[in-house]
Homo-oligomer: A and B are copies of this chain.
Protein backbone atom coordinates (compact mmCIF):
# COMPACT_ATOMS: atom_id res chain seq x y z
CA UNK A 1 0.00 0.00 0.00
CA UNK A 2 3.04 2.21 0.19
CA UNK A 3 4.86 3.22 -2.94
CA UNK A 4 8.46 4.30 -2.53
CA UNK A 5 8.80 6.01 -5.86
CA UNK A 6 6.15 8.68 -5.48
CA UNK A 7 5.09 11.03 -2.69
CA UNK A 8 2.87 9.64 0.00
CA UNK A 9 -0.77 10.63 -0.19
CA UNK A 10 -3.20 11.14 2.66
CA UNK A 11 -6.88 11.85 3.04
CA UNK A 12 -7.97 13.82 6.07
CA UNK A 13 -11.64 13.24 6.79
CA UNK A 14 -13.20 16.24 8.51
CA UNK A 15 -12.13 19.84 7.96
CA UNK A 16 -12.73 21.18 11.48
CA UNK A 17 -9.98 22.29 13.85
CA UNK A 18 -8.01 19.08 14.22
CA UNK A 19 -8.36 17.68 10.72
CA UNK A 20 -7.25 20.97 9.25
CA UNK A 21 -4.39 21.43 11.72
CA UNK A 22 -2.85 18.03 11.03
CA UNK A 23 -2.41 19.04 7.38
CA UNK A 24 0.46 21.32 8.43
CA UNK A 25 2.91 18.66 9.61
CA UNK A 26 1.74 16.39 6.77
CA UNK A 27 2.47 18.91 4.05
CA UNK A 28 5.73 19.84 5.79
CA UNK A 29 6.68 16.20 5.15
CA UNK A 30 5.78 16.50 1.46
CA UNK A 31 2.76 14.28 1.90
CA UNK A 32 0.00 15.08 -0.59
CA UNK A 33 -3.15 15.84 1.35
CA UNK A 34 -6.81 15.79 0.40
CA UNK A 35 -8.78 17.59 3.09
CA UNK A 36 -12.35 16.39 2.87
CA UNK A 37 -15.12 18.30 4.60
CA UNK A 38 -18.35 16.71 5.73
CA UNK A 39 -21.70 18.19 4.70
CA UNK A 40 -21.32 20.41 7.79
CA UNK A 41 -17.99 21.75 6.54
CA UNK A 42 -19.02 23.14 3.15
CA UNK A 43 -18.40 26.74 4.21
CA UNK A 44 -14.99 25.85 5.57
CA UNK A 45 -14.03 24.16 2.32
CA UNK A 46 -15.27 27.10 0.30
CA UNK A 47 -13.27 29.55 2.40
CA UNK A 48 -10.20 27.31 2.36
CA UNK A 49 -10.33 27.15 -1.44
CA UNK A 50 -10.45 30.94 -1.40
CA UNK A 51 -7.30 30.97 0.74
CA UNK A 52 -8.45 31.28 4.36
CA UNK A 53 -9.47 28.63 6.88
CA UNK A 54 -12.06 30.32 9.11
CA UNK A 55 -11.46 28.18 12.21
CA UNK A 56 -7.66 28.24 12.12
CA UNK A 57 -7.75 31.85 10.94
CA UNK A 58 -5.00 31.34 8.41
CA UNK A 59 -4.49 29.87 4.95
CA UNK A 60 -3.79 26.17 4.58
CA UNK A 61 -0.56 25.15 2.91
CA UNK A 62 -0.90 25.70 -0.89
CA UNK A 63 -0.33 21.98 -1.54
CA UNK A 64 -3.46 20.96 0.41
CA UNK A 65 -6.47 20.00 -1.73
CA UNK A 66 -9.73 20.95 0.04
CA UNK A 67 -12.68 18.84 -1.15
CA UNK A 68 -16.42 19.17 -0.66
CA UNK A 69 -18.51 16.43 0.92
CA UNK A 70 -19.76 15.28 -2.50
CA UNK A 71 -16.18 14.41 -3.48
CA UNK A 72 -15.45 11.65 -0.99
CA UNK A 73 -14.43 9.18 -3.71
CA UNK A 74 -11.98 11.73 -5.09
CA UNK A 75 -10.62 12.37 -1.59
CA UNK A 76 -9.87 8.69 -1.08
CA UNK A 77 -8.44 7.96 -4.49
CA UNK A 78 -4.90 6.58 -4.41
CA UNK A 79 -4.25 7.32 -0.76
CA UNK A 80 -1.66 5.61 1.43
CA UNK A 81 -3.08 6.85 4.69
CA UNK A 82 -6.31 8.06 6.18
CA UNK A 83 -6.85 10.46 9.08
CA UNK A 84 -10.30 10.36 10.65
CA UNK A 85 -11.03 13.75 12.22
CA UNK A 86 -14.79 14.09 12.44
CA UNK A 87 -16.64 14.48 15.75
CA UNK A 88 -17.27 11.36 17.79
CA UNK A 89 -20.99 11.79 17.06
CA UNK A 90 -20.40 11.52 13.34
CA UNK A 91 -17.63 8.94 13.49
CA UNK A 92 -19.44 5.66 12.80
CA UNK A 93 -21.53 7.09 9.98
CA UNK A 94 -18.64 8.82 8.24
CA UNK A 95 -16.23 5.93 8.67
CA UNK A 96 -18.91 3.72 7.08
CA UNK A 97 -19.05 6.08 4.11
CA UNK A 98 -15.26 6.03 3.88
CA UNK A 99 -15.17 2.25 3.85
CA UNK A 100 -17.79 2.16 1.10
CA UNK A 101 -15.35 4.13 -1.02
CA UNK A 102 -12.10 2.45 -0.03
CA UNK A 103 -10.73 -0.42 -2.15
CA UNK A 104 -8.05 -1.70 0.23
CA UNK A 105 -6.76 -1.06 3.76
CA UNK A 106 -4.35 1.85 4.22
CA UNK A 107 -2.55 3.24 7.22
CA UNK A 108 -5.28 4.46 9.56
CA UNK A 109 -4.97 7.33 12.04
CA UNK A 110 -7.90 8.25 14.22
CA UNK A 111 -7.92 11.82 15.54
CA UNK A 112 -11.56 11.58 16.61
CA UNK A 113 -11.88 11.14 20.35
CA UNK A 114 -14.42 9.49 22.50
CA UNK A 115 -16.98 6.79 22.84
CA UNK A 116 -19.50 5.97 20.15
CA UNK A 117 -22.83 4.20 19.84
CA UNK A 118 -22.28 1.14 17.69
CA UNK A 119 -24.56 -1.82 17.08
CA UNK A 120 -26.63 -0.98 20.14
CA UNK A 121 -23.67 -0.65 22.51
CA UNK A 122 -21.39 2.13 23.66
CA UNK A 123 -17.81 1.35 22.74
CA UNK A 124 -14.50 3.09 22.17
CA UNK A 125 -14.40 4.53 18.65
CA UNK A 126 -11.41 2.33 17.86
CA UNK A 127 -13.38 -0.80 18.72
CA UNK A 128 -16.15 0.23 16.35
CA UNK A 129 -13.70 1.10 13.60
CA UNK A 130 -11.71 -2.13 13.82
CA UNK A 131 -14.93 -4.13 13.72
CA UNK A 132 -16.07 -2.21 10.65
CA UNK A 133 -12.69 -2.75 9.02
CA UNK A 134 -12.86 -6.48 9.66
CA UNK A 135 -16.31 -6.65 8.15
CA UNK A 136 -15.18 -4.84 5.04
CA UNK A 137 -11.76 -6.38 4.45
CA UNK A 138 -11.91 -9.54 6.54
CA UNK A 139 -10.28 -9.98 9.96
CA UNK A 140 -6.58 -9.05 9.94
CA UNK A 141 -4.08 -6.83 11.74
CA UNK A 142 -4.76 -3.38 10.43
CA UNK A 143 -2.12 -0.67 10.55
CA UNK A 144 -3.93 1.51 13.05
CA UNK A 145 -3.08 4.40 15.36
CA UNK A 146 -5.38 6.06 17.86
CA UNK A 147 -3.98 9.56 18.17
CA UNK A 148 -3.86 11.32 21.52
CA UNK A 149 -2.58 14.63 22.81
CA UNK A 150 -1.60 16.97 24.16
CA UNK A 151 -2.32 18.61 20.82
CA UNK A 152 -4.57 21.60 20.63
CA UNK A 153 -5.32 22.21 16.96
CA UNK A 154 -4.59 25.94 16.88
CA UNK A 155 -1.11 25.64 18.33
CA UNK A 156 -0.31 22.89 15.85
CA UNK A 157 -1.57 24.91 12.90
CA UNK A 158 0.75 27.74 13.96
CA UNK A 159 3.63 25.27 14.07
CA UNK A 160 4.30 25.70 17.76
CA UNK A 161 5.98 22.74 19.50
CA UNK A 162 3.52 19.95 20.26
CA UNK A 163 3.77 16.31 21.18
CA UNK A 164 1.20 13.68 20.34
CA UNK A 165 1.00 10.19 21.74
CA UNK A 166 -0.09 7.55 19.25
CA UNK A 167 -1.69 4.40 20.61
CA UNK A 168 -0.87 1.67 18.12
CA UNK A 169 -2.35 -1.81 17.81
CA UNK A 170 0.77 -3.46 16.44
CA UNK A 171 4.15 -2.89 14.80
CA UNK A 172 2.68 -2.44 11.32
CA UNK A 173 2.19 1.28 11.58
CA UNK A 174 5.48 2.05 13.28
CA UNK A 175 7.46 2.66 10.09
CA UNK A 176 5.02 5.31 9.00
CA UNK A 177 5.22 7.39 12.17
CA UNK A 178 8.65 8.98 11.59
CA UNK A 179 7.35 10.18 8.23
CA UNK A 180 4.76 12.33 10.01
CA UNK A 181 7.07 14.04 12.50
CA UNK A 182 8.50 17.50 12.15
CA UNK A 183 10.73 19.61 14.37
CA UNK A 184 7.62 21.05 16.00
CA UNK A 185 5.29 18.03 15.78
CA UNK A 186 6.72 15.23 17.90
CA UNK A 187 5.17 11.78 18.13
CA UNK A 188 5.54 9.15 20.84
CA UNK A 189 4.13 5.76 19.81
CA UNK A 190 3.02 3.24 22.41
CA UNK A 191 1.22 -0.07 22.09
CA UNK A 192 -1.61 1.03 24.33
CA UNK A 193 -4.63 2.02 22.30
CA UNK A 194 -6.88 1.70 25.35
CA UNK A 195 -4.78 4.01 27.51
CA UNK A 196 -4.42 6.66 24.83
CA UNK A 197 -8.05 6.52 23.73
CA UNK A 198 -9.55 6.63 27.20
CA UNK A 199 -7.18 9.40 28.30
CA UNK A 200 -8.32 11.48 25.32
CA UNK A 201 -11.95 10.78 26.00
CA UNK A 202 -12.00 11.36 29.70
CA UNK A 203 -9.79 14.44 29.72
CA UNK A 204 -12.54 16.12 27.71
CA UNK A 205 -14.97 15.23 30.47
CA UNK A 206 -12.74 16.15 33.39
CA UNK A 207 -11.52 19.40 31.82
CA UNK A 208 -15.00 20.76 32.34
CA UNK A 209 -14.34 20.76 36.11
CA UNK A 210 -11.70 23.52 36.25
CA UNK A 211 -13.95 25.34 33.79
CA UNK A 212 -16.78 25.21 36.32
CA UNK A 213 -14.42 26.81 38.87
CA UNK A 214 -13.69 29.61 36.43
CA UNK A 215 -17.40 30.19 36.03
CA UNK A 216 -18.01 30.12 39.75
CA UNK A 217 -15.04 32.06 41.04
CA UNK A 218 -13.22 34.10 38.43
CA UNK A 219 -15.32 37.19 38.87
CA UNK A 220 -15.08 37.45 42.66
CA UNK A 221 -12.05 35.35 43.56
CA UNK A 222 -9.66 35.81 40.68
CA UNK A 223 -6.23 34.43 41.58
CA UNK A 224 -7.52 32.63 44.67
CA UNK A 225 -8.78 29.30 43.42
CA UNK A 226 -5.65 27.74 41.98
CA UNK A 227 -5.64 25.19 44.81
CA UNK A 228 -9.17 24.20 43.98
CA UNK A 229 -8.45 23.63 40.30
CA UNK A 230 -5.25 21.78 41.23
CA UNK A 231 -7.27 19.53 43.50
CA UNK A 232 -9.69 18.82 40.66
CA UNK A 233 -6.85 18.29 38.20
CA UNK A 234 -5.09 15.71 40.36
CA UNK A 235 -8.36 14.01 41.23
CA UNK A 236 -9.16 13.79 37.51
CA UNK A 237 -5.78 12.21 36.77
CA UNK A 238 -6.33 9.67 39.53
CA UNK A 239 -9.81 8.79 38.28
CA UNK A 240 -8.70 8.46 34.65
CA UNK A 241 -5.91 6.12 35.70
CA UNK A 242 -8.44 4.00 37.55
CA UNK A 243 -10.67 3.82 34.47
CA UNK A 244 -7.80 2.98 32.12
CA UNK A 245 -6.51 0.26 34.40
CA UNK A 246 -9.97 -1.28 34.79
CA UNK A 247 -10.46 -1.23 31.02
CA UNK A 248 -7.24 -3.15 30.47
CA UNK A 249 -5.03 -0.24 29.46
CA UNK A 250 -1.70 0.86 30.92
CA UNK A 251 -2.13 3.42 33.69
CA UNK A 252 1.35 4.75 32.97
CA UNK A 253 -0.10 6.21 29.78
CA UNK A 254 -2.26 8.44 31.97
CA UNK A 255 0.86 9.79 33.63
CA UNK A 256 2.45 10.51 30.28
CA UNK A 257 1.86 13.03 27.51
CA UNK A 258 -1.49 11.53 26.49
CA UNK A 259 -2.82 11.67 30.04
CA UNK A 260 -1.74 14.46 32.37
CA UNK A 261 -0.27 16.37 29.42
CA UNK A 262 -3.51 16.36 27.50
CA UNK A 263 -5.56 17.00 30.64
CA UNK A 264 -3.34 20.01 31.31
CA UNK A 265 -3.88 21.63 27.94
CA UNK A 266 -7.58 20.80 27.86
CA UNK A 267 -8.08 22.18 31.36
CA UNK A 268 -6.30 25.39 30.42
CA UNK A 269 -8.00 26.07 27.12
CA UNK A 270 -10.57 24.84 24.72
CA UNK A 271 -14.23 24.16 24.32
CA UNK A 272 -14.75 21.75 27.19
CA UNK A 273 -13.25 24.13 29.69
CA UNK A 274 -15.44 26.86 28.22
CA UNK A 275 -18.55 24.72 28.50
CA UNK A 276 -17.73 24.12 32.16
CA UNK A 277 -17.31 27.84 32.66
CA UNK A 278 -20.76 28.57 31.26
CA UNK A 279 -22.26 25.97 33.57
CA UNK A 280 -20.33 27.39 36.52
CA UNK A 281 -21.84 30.78 35.73
CA UNK A 282 -25.29 29.26 36.19
CA UNK A 283 -26.32 28.51 32.61
CA UNK A 284 -28.30 25.30 32.18
CA UNK A 285 -25.85 22.64 30.90
CA UNK A 286 -28.04 21.51 28.02
CA UNK A 287 -28.57 25.09 26.91
CA UNK A 288 -24.87 25.89 27.24
CA UNK A 289 -23.97 22.87 25.12
CA UNK A 290 -26.56 23.76 22.50
CA UNK A 291 -25.60 27.45 22.36
CA UNK A 292 -21.96 26.53 21.87
CA UNK A 293 -22.84 23.93 19.22
CA UNK A 294 -24.92 26.50 17.35
CA UNK A 295 -21.82 28.67 17.25
CA UNK A 296 -19.81 25.78 15.80
CA UNK A 297 -18.10 25.12 19.16
CA UNK A 298 -18.75 21.49 19.91
CA UNK A 299 -18.16 20.66 23.59
CA UNK A 300 -17.20 17.02 23.21
CA UNK A 301 -16.93 16.50 26.95
CA UNK A 302 -20.66 16.88 27.37
CA UNK A 303 -21.54 14.07 24.97
CA UNK A 304 -18.65 11.99 26.27
CA UNK A 305 -19.94 12.37 29.83
CA UNK A 306 -23.41 11.23 28.81
CA UNK A 307 -22.05 8.14 27.04
CA UNK A 308 -19.37 7.42 29.62
CA UNK A 309 -21.76 6.79 32.50
CA UNK A 310 -23.44 3.74 30.92
CA UNK A 311 -20.13 2.66 29.35
CA UNK A 312 -18.47 2.63 32.78
CA UNK A 313 -21.31 0.47 34.04
CA UNK A 314 -20.61 -2.13 31.38
CA UNK A 315 -16.96 -2.04 32.45
CA UNK A 316 -17.66 -2.54 36.13
CA UNK A 317 -21.00 -1.99 37.86
CA UNK A 318 -19.37 -0.43 40.90
CA UNK A 319 -16.59 1.65 39.42
CA UNK A 320 -18.57 4.91 39.43
CA UNK A 321 -18.54 4.85 43.24
CA UNK A 322 -14.76 5.04 43.05
CA UNK A 323 -14.97 8.11 40.81
CA UNK A 324 -16.36 10.92 42.97
CA UNK A 325 -15.42 13.70 40.55
CA UNK A 326 -17.02 11.88 37.63
CA UNK A 327 -20.16 11.44 39.70
CA UNK A 328 -20.11 15.10 40.63
CA UNK A 329 -19.86 16.17 37.01
CA UNK A 330 -22.65 13.83 35.97
CA UNK A 331 -24.87 15.20 38.70
CA UNK A 332 -24.16 18.78 37.62
CA UNK A 333 -24.56 18.20 33.89
CA UNK A 334 -27.40 15.70 33.79
CA UNK A 335 -29.18 15.61 37.12
CA UNK A 336 -29.68 19.24 38.01
CA UNK A 337 -26.94 19.44 40.64
CA UNK A 338 -25.97 22.99 41.59
CA UNK A 339 -22.27 23.39 40.74
CA UNK A 340 -21.17 25.09 43.96
CA UNK A 341 -23.04 22.64 46.18
CA UNK A 342 -21.81 19.56 44.36
CA UNK A 343 -18.19 20.74 44.32
CA UNK A 344 -18.31 21.53 48.03
CA UNK A 345 -19.67 18.05 48.73
CA UNK A 346 -16.87 16.59 46.64
CA UNK A 347 -14.21 18.48 48.61
CA UNK A 348 -15.54 17.01 51.85
CA UNK A 349 -15.03 13.51 50.43
CA UNK A 350 -11.29 14.13 50.11
**Interface residue ranges, A against B (CB under 8 Å):** 149-152, 154-156, 158, 160-163, 183-184, 186, 188, 217, 221, 223-231, 233-235, 237-238, 241, 254-257, 259-262, 264-265, 268-269, 343-344, 347-348, 350
B348 touches A227 (CB 8 A): no
29 residue pairs from A and B, CB less than 8 Å apart: A150-B230, A150-B231, A151-B227, A152-B226, A152-B227, A154-B224, A155-B228, A156-B227, A158-B221, A160-B217, A160-B228, A162-B227, A162-B231, A163-B234, A183-B348, A186-B348, A229-B264, A229-B265, A231-B257, A233-B260, A233-B261, A233-B264, A234-B260, A234-B261, A237-B260, A241-B255, A254-B255, A260-B260, A264-B264
Give A163's nearest chain B residue, CB to CB.
B231
Q: Give the shortest distance, in Å, between A37 (CB) and chain B (any CB).
A: 24
Residue of B nearest to A184 (CB): B347
| Interface pair A234/B150, CB less than 8 Å apart | yes
Structural contact, B161 and A261, CB atoms closer than 8 A: no
* 7 closest cross-chain pairs (CB), A and B: A234-B261, A150-B230, A162-B227, A230-B265, A155-B227, A186-B350, A230-B264
Partner of A226, one of B227, B268, B344: B268
User: Which of A233, A234, A262 has its CB near the most chain B CB atoms (within 10 A)?
Assistant: A234
List of B residues within 8 angstroms of A160 by Cβ: 217, 221, 224-225, 227-228
